[in-house]
Structure 1
Amino acid sequence: MTLAHAPGAPSWVDLGTTDLAAATAFYSALFGWGVDELGPQAGGYGLLLKDGKQVAGIGPADPVRGTSWAVYFATQDAAGTAAEVEARGGKTVIAPMQVMDQGIMAVFTDPAGAFFSVWQPGAHTGAELMRQPGSVSWVELYTPDVAAAKEFYGAVFGLTAQDSDMGGGETYTLLSIGGNQVGGMFTPPGAADMPSYWMPYFAVEDCDASAAKAVELGATELVRTDYPGGRLAILTDPQGATFGVITGN
């Protein structure tokens, strides 16, 4: 059964990395992923599989971004989304382009400089598994200006925002589409001048065990903490891409 992705919802993630072989080995050991290499015609891109289902992609790093995870939002009209991004103060990095028969992709930055992508489905409709162990469970925007980000992503994707009190004067903003929570945005304390970026969290059965295993495999742990719905950890992989593992979401 094809997993449906509502327009405006996160539908895919992929990793651009400076070391494809090492990154594939790292995530395969951590999440039990297999890889379907698509060959030279796909520019070295491959599909990462959990129990035979497509959960993410992997390919060579973009020289500007370096090793990093990219978050894609579903759209039925990539060209229309590009126009809306530009009208709302974002920038087009890669204009909508056809990817064989798979779909149409585009890459943008928001007004604070965070990269994000869109996917207009063709033969490839997006992730075939989400919110299950070894697949994307949540996406999060780190931004120095949550108020501006709310306005931008609300206009571009129809995402609705709801602030949640984290205690200690900190606020976390939950993002929903069609009444379903799909991600969040946050300004870490003392990070007003931080770079803005999107990050995926992958569902795991045991956050502490997965974080410890990631470190054993060469990752660097940045955060490990409880949150109201469960437990999470944020790490960078051996090549420097930031990602999270999470339970209870």
Structure 2
Amino acid sequence: MSTRDEPWPAGTPCWVDYGAVDVDAAVRFYTEVLDWTAEASGPEYGGYVMCRVGDRDAAGIGPAQEGAPAAWTTYLASTDVDTTTTRAADAGATVLAPPFDVGDLGRMSVVADPQGAVLGVWQAGRHIGARVVNEPGGLTWNEAAEPDPATARTFYSQVFGFVWEPVPGAPDDYCTFATETGRPLGGLGGLPGKDVPPHWLTYFSVADTDAFVAAAKDRGASVVSGPFDTEFGRMATVRDPWGATFAVMGGGSAA
């Protein structure tokens, strides 16, 4: 199992959480299809639910802001969330939630990049973010989709120091990003359709993509794309019963 107990390097997609219009129903759906266990926090954390693979934190679910649609949010790690947020604002981002402490768990902010894709910034305290990745139920990839990928790459390079690498066989505007480690941390490309808004997309690892899709559909989800095979695994993009989109990657075959 791929596990971690130390804070993630700056710029790494380190956490995802779900803003739910119905927290209890969302917890039921995601624990059933991703085989998570769930533990609700105390009232001081606003009803936030920690979802785990075994005893390892995998993702969070909490109530959506009033009037906001259900959605997954990707968080990028920072060693100084205040400085990162200021740098993002100076580069054209809109600060949706200025930096604030989450008890002793960490410090965070939420911004919309200049083209409107929403992301969180997380500075680890007691909570480092995901403690299990690249295993069934764990986070395995994050990517941004933007109307103007070249301009978006400039923004993320200015704020997080990303360097970019084209992916052979992928659309021309799709690149992976990395920091000084050189290891690809995620991707960024164009929008998949003219009616799709800018966004960050979360990928979870699953043991069997086709079985996951069938289970999700049985519980009210719909399929946006796939399943289909890639050199990285079998993928599908799913819209949950409340309209939030996420993707999965794993094994399995429709054959």
- TM class by shorter-chain length? over 0.9
4+ aligned runs moved over 6 Å, structure 1: none
In structure 2, the partner of 1:220 is: 222
Q: 2:12 aligns with which of 4, 9, 15?
A: 9
Report which stretch shifted further, 180-189 or 70-79.
180-189
Q: How many residues get paired?
A: 246
Alpha-carbon distance in structure 2 between the residues aligned to 1:133 and 1:186: 25
Alpha-carbon distance in structure 2 between the residues aligned to 1:126 and 1:189: 28
In structure 2, the partner of 1:126 is: 129
Alpha-carbon distance in structure 1 between the residues aligned to 2:191 and 2:143: 12
User: Residue 240 of structure 1: CA displacement?
Assistant: 1.3
| Structure 1 residues 131 and 3, CA gap change in structure 2 (3 angstroms) | farther
User: Could you list the per-position Cα deviations for residues 86-134 of structure 1 after superposition, in whole angstroms to 9, with x for gaps in the alignment?
Assistant: 1111111100001111110100010001100011111111111111110
Alpha-carbon distance in structure 2 between the residues aligned to 1:157 and 1:213: 37
Aligned pairs (5 A) from 1:91-130: 91-130=94-133
User: Residue 64 of structure 1: CA displacement?
Assistant: 4.9
Alpha-carbon distance in structure 2 between the residues aligned to 1:205 and 1:76: 33
> TM (normalized to structure 1)?
0.94
Write the letter of the residue equivalent to 1:158. G
In structure 2, the partner of 1:196 is: 198
In structure 2, the partner of 1:23 is: 26
Alpha-carbon distance in structure 2 between the residues aligned to 1:78 and 1:184: 22
Q: In the alignment, is the contact (CA less than 8 A) between 2:166 and 2:172 conserved in 1?
A: no
In structure 2, the partner of 1:236 is: 239
Write the letter of the residue equivalent to 1:63. E
CA root-mean-square deviation: 1.6
Alpha-carbon distance in structure 2 between the residues aligned to 1:105 and 1:189: 29
In structure 2, the partner of 1:90 is: 93
Write the letter of the residue equivalent to 1:98. D
Alpha-carbon distance in structure 2 between the residues aligned to 1:47 and 1:131: 18
User: Residue 155 of structure 1: CA displacement?
Assistant: 1.4
Q: In the alignment, is the contact (CA less than 8 A) between 1:165 and 1:171 conserved in 2?
A: no
Alpha-carbon distance in structure 2 between the residues aligned to 1:195 and 1:47: 28
User: Residue 227 of structure 1: CA displacement?
Assistant: 2.3
> TM (normalized to structure 2)?
0.91
Q: Any stretches of 5+ residues in structure 2 without a counterpart?
A: none
Q: In the alignment, is the contact (CA less than 8 A) between 2:149 and 2:173 conserved in 1?
A: no
Alpha-carbon distance in structure 1 between the residues aligned to 2:196 and 2:21: 23
Q: 2:209 aligns with which of 189, 194, 207?
A: 207
Q: In the alignment, is the contact (CA less than 8 A) between 1:166 and 1:172 conserved in 2?
A: no
User: Could you list the per-position Cα deviations for residues 153-183 of structure 1 after superposition, in whole angstroms to 9, with x for gaps in the alignment?
Assistant: 111112221122436x654211223211121
Write the letter of the residue equivalent to 1:57. G
Aligned pairs (5 A) from 1:59-74: 59-74=62-77
Q: In the alignment, is the contact (CA less than 8 A) between 1:106 and 1:117 conserved in 2?
A: yes
Write the letter of the residue equivalent to 2:201. M
SS in structure 1 of the partner of residue 95 of structure 2: strand
User: Could you list the per-position Cα deviations for residues 55-78 of structure 1 after superposition, in whole angstroms to 9, with x for gaps in the alignment?
Assistant: 111100123531000000100001
SS in structure 1 of the partner of residue 84 of structure 2: helix
In structure 2, the partner of 1:144 is: 147
User: Could you list the per-position Cα deviations for residues 169-198 of structure 1 after superposition, in whole angstroms to 9, with x for gaps in the alignment?
Assistant: 65421122321112111214553x641011
Q: In the alignment, is the contact (CA less than 8 A) between 1:165 and 1:172 conserved in 2?
A: no
